[in-house]
Structure 1
């Protein structure tokens, strides 16, 4: 299907062809269009994956031309940092977490609580999907950098801080045991080390000369234990929330069919 700068009409034409020839492979040749023809023409493919049963389909820029086209090194570094952090914490293999080109299922839309107001919303969507075992599909898309004279609306530092804050908040909420347990373990170890120094001094001299250190060390150990216990309790609650989420999504799917 040859065309040139047909962003207004190409979407309907592709949909009409797909309706008339549902089993056909449709190829759109945009002849290096300067508008959004290629992006709009690709939309039916990303929607088709949702219709196949995926809850969120992600337009993956990083597997194609992103790092060649994007001339902003801090953006590239930020993408790698966020991707590595989330994939490590949630044991996932998502390639492009920061992309805004996505399609969603009915279930995703009805169960996703929008809490972010800015650029960090993509991160929140991805973590929501990974935490609740929703079906993700990544579809490589072509990325082209902004043309000369076009200014990005992104604030590298400000948006980066908001994204990392979102990750921090969602780890605290979705992974409470590693978060609070790890924090409690660190604090507890510091307290034990301080207790050890006081105990060593007492064993050597028979006198405790650093009572404030001893009291502070005991308080740190207690605080560490409380954080670990809190992490265990919150982890149980988070697992129950995930069970409730699964039941709710099953109800949504059932009601949609009936």
Structure 2
């Protein structure tokens, strides 16, 4: 088991990867640097190997797929994940690692948004998207995470081995954050400087397509992790629709004593039945979620015991 593993997912980063690996080795001399190549067509692999990184591969395209393989294959006391585009200074890596190793943090967020991100990033829709995602998650999950989409994070062994990677692409950061918040894990924040990509380096993030995927992930995970709140909101919306159809029928009945629009009245009844069903669906899923959280805590205990056993064997 490594003490510190630096995980760098890469796709066509020949302009910057050598510098990132070198900076990581200088900042964390005791760390093992892993570069996971995701079908690069340039010289990323050769340059990373030349700089001293351990090279591994993920053939399925997408950052989420790369991180899934990383988390499955690497065992370490502390994991530092960073992008290969040289937008994050490695000088903060030691502080982030110490929070995991010495303060038992489960996830440390490299917070760009509280420093230089809005000045350095030249893409206004990215700025707006980051703020929208942050505010959405903090509102829906009652959290105070300062940067949801950052690719600069540190993790504990417990987090990595308990995190089920479901996303395939850039929405993976959102999924990580919600997993940590929902399961009441210790999340710490380290403010880091951000610098825009150097000239010639191209972002793989599509502002609109990936932005929609991230928002869709938030809604799906809100439904999954907060089913009672989700289905209660749905029930309220259905009730409003039902009331909108019912009120004209009621007014006509009060005036004439007759119901002229029976089809409309029937639609009202079915819509309100759907609202009632939504409430019960939310209650059932909420109770299942409570059981899943209990099972997850037992699963965490098992991971912790395995970690302590491996550390004891390592010391012997």
Task: Give SS of 1:207's match.
Answer: coil
1:168–1:11 CA distance, 2 compared to 1 (3 A): closer
* Conserved? CA contact 2:107–2:156, under 8 Å: yes
Hey, which of these two has a bigger chunk of helix by percent? 1
Counterpart Cα distance in 2 of 1:250 and 1:104:
17
**Pairing partner for 1:84 from 118, 135, 140:** 135
Deviations 1:121-151 (A, max 9, x none): 0000000101101111111111001223332
Task: Give SS of 1:194's match.
Answer: helix
Match of 1:236 in 2: 287
Q: Rg: which structure is higher?
A: 1
1:253 aligns with 2:304: yes
Counterpart Cα distance in 1 of 2:257 and 2:217:
51
* Conserved? CA contact 2:105–2:186, under 8 Å: yes
Map 1:120-131; keep pairs closer than 5 Å.
120-131=171-182
Over the aligned positions, Cα root-mean-square deviation in angstroms equals: 2.3
Counterpart Cα distance in 1 of 2:88 and 2:253:
76
1:148 aligns with 2:199: yes
Match of 2:149 in 1: 98
Match of 1:214 in 2: 265
Deviations 1:179-212 (A, max 9, x none): 1111011102321342232122122112211111
Hey, which of these two has a bigger chunk of strand by percent? 2
Match of 2:126 in 1: 75
Counterpart Cα distance in 1 of 2:214 and 2:30:
40
Counterpart Cα distance in 2 of 1:37 and 1:231:
42
Q: Paired residues, what number?
A: 238
**Pairing partner for 1:182 from 207, 216, 233:** 233
Match of 2:104 in 1: 53
Counterpart Cα distance in 2 of 1:8 and 1:193:
61
1:256–1:83 CA distance, 2 compared to 1 (3 A): same
**Long gaps (5+) in structure 2:** 1-17, 32-84, 310-316
Task: Give SS of 1:71's match.
Answer: coil
**Pairing partner for 1:43 from 84, 87, 93:** 93
Q: Kindly state the Cα deviation for residue 154 of structure 1 after the two structures are TM-superposed.
A: 1.2
1:58–1:37 CA distance, 2 compared to 1 (3 A): closer
